[in-house]
Each structure stands twice: as structure tokens, then as C-alpha cells.
Amino acid sequence: MLSLKQISKYYNTGNNKTYVLNKVDLDVEQGEFVSIMGPSGSGKSTLLNIIGMLDQPSEGYMYFLNEPVHQLKEKQRSALYKQNIGFVFQAYHLIDELTVYENIETPLLYQDVKSTERKALVADALDRFNIVGKKDLFPAQLSGGQQQLVGIARALISKPKLLLADEPTGNLNSKQGEEIMELFKKLNQEDGVTIIQVTHSEKNAQYGSRIINLLDGKIDSSIIL
């Protein structure tokens, strides 16, 4: 599904190149649940952003659903991720001015989905994540766990093949965190959503099917659970 070949990301500092990622090779198959771990500054988030096409590598090749991403133009790239990738953030990044319902609906609006279809999809999502009662509330009126739930519902509304999560439980207490991880596991196993998450927590990493450890921009180890 996803294949990274010799991906590097560096910044020029004076005459030197500072590598954030250094020739990373990585393959992820459909249906995997990968956890990326590593100390601060090891390049976890950068790797995730490159996979999500929000950021571009300095060097290397990347294939997503057999498309050579490194050869695509900006527009094609954004069309590709728009349809196939969902994002979940540590800080949720819900839009303050929108209700729960509208937040979940937003990606559909940008994909020009018809109104009736939108309604059905959003209603489904609300139902599935058990937040029907909260649909008219604004983000500020929700707890952190509830906000992240909405964030996940929003990420999944357009049925992406790949879900990227950058420390999804970082701002949550342990109980809320556990619930979110259970949900991820369920999504992975029952709905077949491929998930790649970045996490600091050994415990959360255990929910996945593979753990990749990054160190200084290189893959240090890859452990299949």
C-alpha cells in the first residue's frame, strides 16, 4: 500500500546538512496498524507528515497505492490524500466555530458530496461513535476525550484507506487514552482501516501490529507483534 525508498529530509544549516530523516526505507501493507516510536527529535512527526503528503522529502521515492507520489504535482497529490488519508492530531484541531456535526461534515463539503448523502454519512458517523447527543455542541463544550472522538469521526468520514495519527492520546488522561486506543484497534480489526500512529507511550504502541523505532532519523528497529 505504501512504500518509502531512501527517503531523506534535511535542512541546510550553513554548509552542513542537518538530517531529520536519513535514507529511510519503509513498507506498510494494507490492514497493518503501525506504531512509530522514538525520542524527541528522532523524526517521527516528519515521517508521518511525509507519508501524509503534508510535507515533502528532500530526496527519495514514495509510492502510495502504486502511485509514484514523488512525481505527482501538488494538485494531484492533494487529490490523492484528500480521498485516501485521514488525519488525527494530538491537539484535535477541531474548528472552533463549527458544531460537532459541522466539523465532521467539513471534509465532505470540500469533496463536493451531495447534501443528502452528506447527511446520511454524518448521521452514520455520529451513531457509530456514540455522539449523536453532542452533535449541536461546539468543541469548547466538550471534554478532551470527546473532542478527540470527534476528530477521529471527522478523519474517517470520507472512508480513507489510511489513518494517520500524531500522538492521538497525548493530551488525554489515561482512561480517555485507553478508550481511543481500543477504538483504533477495533477500526483496524473490524473495518480494515490501515493505521499509522506516532506515540511516546509503550503501552499504546502495543495496540498495533508493528512497532518501528526511530533514532536520529533512521529506523533503529522494526518489531512485529
Partner 1 sequence: MLQAYLKVAWRRLKARLFYTLLNVLGLALAMGCCILLYVYVSYQLSFDTYHRHAATTYRVVNELHLDKTEYDKGSAMAMYLAARREIPQVVNGAYSCSRQSYIVTAGTADKKLFREEKNIAFTNSKWFDVFKYRVVAGNLQGLNQLNTAVLTQKQAQKYFGSTPAIGQYLQIKNIPMRVVAVVANCPYNTDQNSDIYFSFATLKQIDPDYKNYTNQWGYISSVNNSYLVLRTTADKPVVEKMLNQIAKPYFGDGIKYYKFQLLPLTEQHFDLRYGGTTQKSLLTVLIVIGCLILATAIINYINLVVAQQARRSTEIGTRKVLGATAGRLLMQFVTESVMTTTVAAVLAMGLVAAVLPVINRYWFSAQPVHVGSWLQLGLFTLLLVVIINLVMGIYPAWWLNRFNITHALKKQATLVQTGLGRKALVVLQNLIAQLLIAGTVIIVMQVQFLKNTDKGFDRNMVVNISVGQATDLQKQRLLKGTAQMPDVSSVSFCLNSPATDSQRGATLQFDNRPKWENWPARFAIGDAAYAKTFGLQLIAGRNRDSHATTPEFLVNQKMARMLMGNHWTDVIGKKLQPGDPKGIIVGVVKDFNVHSLLEPIEPTVVLEDKNLQTNMAVKLNGQHTDATLKTLQQLYTETLPTEVFSYRFIDEQIASLYRAETLQQNLIWGAAAMAIVISSLGLLGLVSLMTLQRTKEIGVRKVLGAGVSQIGLMLSADFLKLVGLALIVAIPGSWWLMNHWLQNYAYHIQIHWWVYALTGLLAMLIAFFTVGFQSFKAAMANPVNSLRSE
Q: Interface residues with partner 1 (CB under 8 A)?
A: 49, 52, 54-55, 78, 82, 87, 89-91, 93-98, 102, 106-107, 109-111, 154, 158
Tell me the helix, strand and coil percentages in the chain, rounded to 5: 40, 30, 30
Report the nearest approach of partner 1 to the CB of residue 77 (Å).
Answer: 12
Q: What's the rounded Cα separation, in Å, for the pair 57 and 49?
A: 9
Task: Name the nearest CA neighbour of 217 among 38, 88, 87, 74.
Answer: 38
Report the nearest approach of partner 1 to the CB of residue 38 (Å).
Answer: 15
Question: Do 97 and 137 touch, CB atoms closer than 8 A?
Answer: no
Nearer to partner 1, 22 or 171 (CB): 171
Q: Cell numbers for 31, please give them.
A: 490492514
* Nearest 10 degrees: Cα torsion 108, 109, 113, 119: 70
Nearer to partner 1, 96 or 190 (CB): 96
Amino acid at 204: N
Report the nearest approach of partner 1 to the CB of residue 190 (Å).
Answer: 25
Nearer to partner 1, 55 or 216 (CB): 55
Report the nearest approach of partner 1 to the CB of residue 9 (Å).
Answer: 11
Nearer to partner 1, 31 or 102 (CB): 102
